[in-house]
Amino acid sequence: MYPRVMVLLFFLFGALPVWGQTVRIESGLIEGVREGDITVYKSIPFAAPPVGSLRWKAPERALPWKGVRPADSFGPICMQTGASVPGVATEPVNEDCLTLSIWTGSNSGDEKLPVMVWIPGGGYTQESGSMPLYWGDALARRGVIVVTLNYRVGVFGFLAHPELTRETSHKSSGNYGVLDQIAALTWIKRNIPAFGGDPRRVTIWGQSAGSMSVSILMASPIARGLFHRAIGESGGFFEPPAATANPEGWNLKGAELQGLAFAAYNGVTSLAELRRLPPEQILKANRSGTTHPIVDRYVLPKDPYEAFSAGRQNDVPILIGSNADEAKPLLAGRNIRLATFAEDIVRAFPVESFRELASMYLAIYPASTDAQARETRAKFERDLRFGWDMWTWGRIQAKTGKSKVFYYYFQHSPPYPAGSTSADWGAGHWQELRYVFDHLHQEPWSWTAADHELANTMATYWTNFAEQGNPNGEGVPTWPDFTSAREQLMRFDRVAAVSGVPNLEGLKLFDYFYGIFRKAVTPNTK
């Protein structure tokens, strides 16, 4: 009788979820959902809810449960507003958000499959591991396990405060979002064998702020041994703080002052009062506190540039790169004109020397019309915010590390719909993700055979890298490693081809200026 009922329900309502395997993890039994030939386990707690007295504390172990916990739906994401990717639906938010999701093709715990751990971006203020673009279904079918995670963002994840510093044995505060990432990796090391994963082949992977997190984890001594390869797309944490608009806010002392200002803004004077504030009030006041990682003596004793330069990074193979038109989506709607081009740069980066930098950059990328000024500003932002970081990350790893570097440049423009807001974005920020996740089908665009072939090539490289620490393998062009003596990369357009590093004049100009700023003892040092 039961099979007939299921058949009837199928014809009435369409395909229904099919319960997958039940596995035992340290907190109890959990059951996922079968989706074709893979099983998905959604929103598994990897830490206790960071609420009440645990707000702004390092994550603690997840609480145990009795019976079988269903993992068939995504839970709330960490406190935030809006979405960083246009067109993505907002998700319910809650402080109780420290969960991860797992896509696996394993039918038992014996396979020992490589594991890819996705760290979302979103400028440390948005995003989650449950965004459809980041689902691991297509990659799991290629023989890897994909894990996506949530971590505290905004002021919930990065508030520093003198009282928070005093209450810890390591005398630091502020990097709770990074501590969440480390807690998730620790959980994975202990529990991923139950899902068929190999805890000795874990790849951390992120884009934008997620890629910055990858560079931070490589520089963090407390993350040592938790991962074995690293992929970074369009983001690194290598700029000298003295060249930023708020230099003091990147170290513990300055961030603590921001924490005191945040408390005063909310009309409270103590940590206990801060912890009693409703989360909605904290979210509303989010931008008055620190909302990014800092050099804090514990999670990050030195900034990544210093750690890598001294050879103190967690030395693993890396696959890193950026896109040809990174800044075009980020500058959409901005009124950029030739007459105010240099002044706009100075206002965007209130460091006096950027006026000189703007004029020098115009000598490399000249502009004589408003349209050219918009293109040049996009190139300026591309090289400043993304290109220089990835080039520098590759260079210092190649110089001081023993593990290989594989570098890419994505310059393929997806087939955006004509007349859409994204029509002129080109190879913009995050556009490569549809290809590396092999998720072209999520957009109803006019994808070509070349698009699908590129997605297959990039997904193959990424999963090969997770498996063996090297993207090369059968059916794809040979990708040479990037070295100090031979700075070569893989350029992705309609096809994949090897080339040198593009935009070198602009990158070298930023390298020159950053070298000056890095020597500054204080932000006001000439």
H-run or E-run covering 180: helix 176-191
Cα 231 to the center of its chain, rounded Å: 10
- Say how many CA atoms lie within 13 Å of 15 toward its Cβ: 7
How many CB atoms neighbour CB 34 within 10 A? 13
Task: Choose among 57, 36, 204, 18: nearest CA to 104.
Answer: 36
Among the listed residues 429, 432, 439, 467, the single catalytic one is: 429
CB-CB contact of 464 with 474 (8 Å): no
CB-CB contact of 482 with 489 (8 Å): yes
Buried b (16+ CB within 10 A) or exposed e, 504-523: eebbebbeebbeebbeeeeb
CA angle 108, 113, 119 (to 5 degrees): 115
Among the listed residues 43, 106, 173, 208, the single catalytic one is: 208
Cα 125 to the center of its chain, rounded Å: 12
Task: Choose among 236, 252, 215, 169: nearest CA to 387.
Answer: 236
Structure token pair of residue 329: 């989506």
Backbone angles phi, psi at 88, to 5 degrees: -85, 130
Q: CA–CA separation, 105 vs 318, rounded Å?
A: 25
Q: CA–CA separation, 90 vs 495, rounded Å?
A: 35
Q: CA–CA separation, 74 vs 97, rounded Å?
A: 10
Cβ-in-10-Å burial (0-12, 13-18, 19+) of 454 comes to: buried
Residue identified by tokens 């609480």 is 63
Question: Which residue type sits at 240?
Answer: P
Buried b (16+ CB within 10 A) or exposed e, 177-203: bbbbbbbbbbbbbebbbbbbbbbebbb
Residue identified by tokens 């969960």 is 99
Q: What share of the chain is helix, strand, coil (3-state, %, to 5)?
A: 40, 15, 45
Q: Is 208 considered catalytic here?
A: yes
CB-CB contact of 209 with 123 (8 Å): yes
Among the listed residues 326, 381, 432, 467, the single catalytic one is: 326
CA distances from 124 to 155, 329, 365, 508 (A): 9, 18, 31, 28
Q: Provide the 3-class DSSP secondary structure of residue 285.
A: coil
Catalytic residues, by residue number, are 208, 326, 429
